[in-house]
Structure 1
Amino acid sequence: MHAPSFWWRKGAALGWALAPAGWLYGWFTARRMRQLGEAAPCPILCVGNFTLGGSGKTPLALALGRLAIEKGYKPGYLSRGYGGSTKGPIEVEPGRHSADEVGDEPLLLASVATTVVARDRVAGARLLAEKGANLVIMDDGFQNPSLTKTVSLVVVDGARGTGNGFVFPAGPLRAPMSSQLPFTDGVFVMGEGEPGDALAARAGAQGLPVFRGVLRPRGRGEWQNERCLAFAGIGAPERFFRSLEDVGAVVAARHRFADHHPYSEEDCRRLVAEAERAGLKLVTTEKDAARLTGRGGARQALYERLTVFPVEADIPEREALWNWLTERLF
């Protein structure tokens, strides 16, 4: 879905109009979060968020998986597989599975460590343990109570924070902050901005540790003055466009699609045609590229013309974060 612009504006009339629906949605979510979950066979690190839409949790989950491997652990990723048809539990095989089957994020996670897609989080954690994982990293699932988490690290977009402060559909929150903070062990602010600073201050006032990082381009691609047609179907497409401009690219055309958007043949034909007419380089994110590869037809034609702009989480205090995690996980 597209995140409506009023979600990120304080005092927006439409937010107030939808607030009663948000109170009801938030009440049910908060009630669900209080349910007791089942214990897992190994420690569970949940990388989640307070809101709908992008916060940078998948890049952080990838970074934490790489860090765990570096420290001698064998992590495994657990995902619901949003956007995919597979209920699981099933181990993701990037060469065999498509985003239509397992979702886009699991394909990225599987490039780092064993990844299991499962609607039943408990069954998924058990399968990862059977495959030798001694740490399960959940990408999302903070509000899902079925599996007891050892540590919940919640990611916040520094530029957007919690938006207008309302609960879906009036705003981006999945439940009231007063209901989510008691289940939070730590907060990770991704990027800079006053909204993120305000939430960090609130978390700190409640005794929660706050960590920070930024998303940076991965690799040394030459982007200076490169004229691009950039498109993205992610939670925060504007952050992607800004990242391109930050490395010197000229974003001459930009197209926003809903998060996890399933690109149609017509979408792909239009993008290729516009880029060819204007002489622009087609650029997208790793998540979007994962939804195009192996599809055939116009999708494959678009994929073959693409340049992927990869980003990664840069964590200045990575050792402090790891020490904090290991004290609680192991």
Structure 2
Amino acid sequence: MGLGERWLEAAYRGDAWLIALRPLEALYRRVVARRAAAYAAGRQPVWRAPVPVIVVGNITLGGTGKSPLVAWLGRRLLDRGWRPGIVSRGYGGRAAAYPLWVDGSTPVTECGDEPRMLFEQTGLPLVVDADRPRGAGRLLEAGCDILISDDGLQHHALGRDLELVVVDGRRGFGNGRCLPAGPLREPLSRLAGVDAVVINGEPAFVPPGGAHGMTLVPSGWRHLASGERYPVAPLPFSGPVHAVAGIGNPRRFLATLEALGVEATLHPFADHHGYRGGELDFGDGRPVVMTAKDAIKCHGLAPADSWVLEVEACPDDGFAAWLEARLETFRSFREASRSGAGG
């Protein structure tokens, strides 16, 4: 575990030595507040798309289950007759030019692991661009009539109609402090201004009022090399396994495996870790299991007996009903706009 991962664990535990970083936290909070105020007051430009924009993000560092909710939301919108597109910053990737269209052949080194994963899970139009308004514009040119901004909560240059914040139920908000004295990207007061808070898993803390619940449900196994799919049970492999997790919260992956009856030795790596192959050679012939996010980067590097656990987000019925009501509002506005343009 690297220095960054050890610091993050300390921030979620609330280790006492982090008190020494509070002067830097105060500075960070001032910078965040001034930046948000500049956009709110019009001193920094905010681009408003002519279609609804839904931002899915978090206010903490580390994995929360945001990407599965983005995938669920994209599929839900498609099923409801919308033409959704996803815009992402593409963390960890570096392309020669932007905006970058992502498809099944786009190198992860160019687009980042999460955009490639989201494309493979949804098949939706997906553009990577740190300039989110520019990337959103490219999606509009492709005919998208509703946009999802993946991990875009702190990217104020792109105007939004809905803000959804995902929180890990087990880790919550850690010690409740902002960077670098804690894991928060923004103060907890930010939650009062978002449209919905979604708690991933049973909360080990008192959730904000009106928060919705979500669970990540294993949907099946995929053999990494062949792509063949198998049900969750019975297990398509035998014996203890090595669990590889280069995600924001590797222990959540281990807990999921244990709930499935898989005896696993966890090998945590930094979020967005770029595998080179040697890390996956454990020398004992045991099967290797990994997340979908890791699998994107491990083709041709992992042992032959390697498996991917696919999971899907399942928000509670209250969130689904709330979302349907908001989508109906968007749909009514869209139809009224079309009628006005036609008249």
- The verdict on a shared fold, with TM-score over 0.5 as the criterion, is yes
- Give the deviation of 1:148 after TM superposition: 0.7
What are the Cα deviations for residues 204-262 of structure 1, in whole angstroms up to 9, with x where unaligned?
Answer: 2xxxx4211101111223339641100111001000011011111001x2111111111
Letter in 2 for 1:15: L
- Give the deviation of 1:129 after TM superposition: 0.8
Identity level (%): 39
Paired with 2:256 and 2:92, the residues of 1 have a C-alpha distance of 25
Letter in 1 for 2:185: R
Q: Which has the larger radius of gyration?
A: 2
* 2:291 counterpart (285, 288, 292): 285
Does 2:312 correspond to 1:312?
yes
Taking a change above 3 Å as real, the CA distance of residues 324 and 190 of structure 1, as seen in their structure-2 partners, is farther
Paired with 1:13 and 1:328, the residues of 2 have a C-alpha distance of 48
Aligned residues: 305
What are the Cα deviations for residues 98-151 of structure 1, in whole angstroms up to 9, with x where unaligned?
Answer: 111100111122121110101100011111111111110111010111111110
* 1:53 counterpart (62, 70, 74): 62
Residue 216 of structure 1 corresponds to 217
Matches within 5 A, 1:149-168: 149-168=160-179
Q: Which runs of no fewer than 5 residues in structure 1 stay unpaired? A: 294-299
- Is the CA contact (8 Å cut-off) linking 1:41 and 1:125 kept in structure 2? no
Taking a change above 3 Å as real, the CA distance of residues 149 and 239 of structure 1, as seen in their structure-2 partners, is same
Paired with 1:228 and 1:190, the residues of 2 have a C-alpha distance of 26
Letter in 1 for 2:215: V
Letter in 2 for 1:315: P
- Give the deviation of 1:175 after TM superposition: 1.6
Letter in 1 for 2:195: D
Residue 26 of structure 2 corresponds to 23
Residue 144 of structure 2 corresponds to 133
Does 2:196 correspond to 1:183?
no
What are the Cα deviations for residues 169-209 of structure 1, in whole angstroms up to 9, with x where unaligned?
Answer: 1111002112x2243111111101222xx232xxx2xxxx4
- Give the deviation of 1:327 after TM superposition: 4.7
- Is the CA contact (8 Å cut-off) linking 1:79 and 1:116 kept in structure 2? yes
Residue 41 of structure 1 corresponds to 50
Residue 145 of structure 1 corresponds to 156
Does the residue aligned with 1:193 lie in a helix, a strand or coil? coil
Paired with 2:268 and 2:325, the residues of 1 have a C-alpha distance of 37
Paired with 1:263 and 1:73, the residues of 2 have a C-alpha distance of 37
- Give the deviation of 1:54 after TM superposition: 0.5
Paired with 1:171 and 1:107, the residues of 2 have a C-alpha distance of 30
Residue 297 of structure 1 corresponds to none
Paired with 1:191 and 1:134, the residues of 2 have a C-alpha distance of 31
Does the residue aligned with 2:25 lie in a helix, a strand or coil? helix
- Is the CA contact (8 Å cut-off) linking 2:36 and 2:156 kept in structure 1? yes
- Is the CA contact (8 Å cut-off) linking 1:74 and 1:132 kept in structure 2? yes
- Output the aligned Cα RMSD: 1.8
Residue 327 of structure 2 corresponds to 326
Residue 227 of structure 1 corresponds to 240
Paired with 1:329 and 1:211, the residues of 2 have a C-alpha distance of 21
Does the residue aligned with 1:301 lie in a helix, a strand or coil? coil
Paired with 2:269 and 2:329, the residues of 1 have a C-alpha distance of 39
- Is the CA contact (8 Å cut-off) linking 2:83 and 2:144 kept in structure 1? yes
Paired with 2:245 and 2:179, the residues of 1 have a C-alpha distance of 23
Letter in 1 for 2:207: L
Does the residue aligned with 2:207 lie in a helix, a strand or coil? helix
* 1:256 counterpart (268, 281, 286): 268
Q: Which runs of no fewer than 5 residues in structure 2 stay unpaired? A: 41-45, 221-230, 332-343
* 1:32 counterpart (32, 35, 38): 35
- Is the CA contact (8 Å cut-off) linking 2:280 and 2:301 kept in structure 1? no
* 2:204 counterpart (173, 194, 203): 194
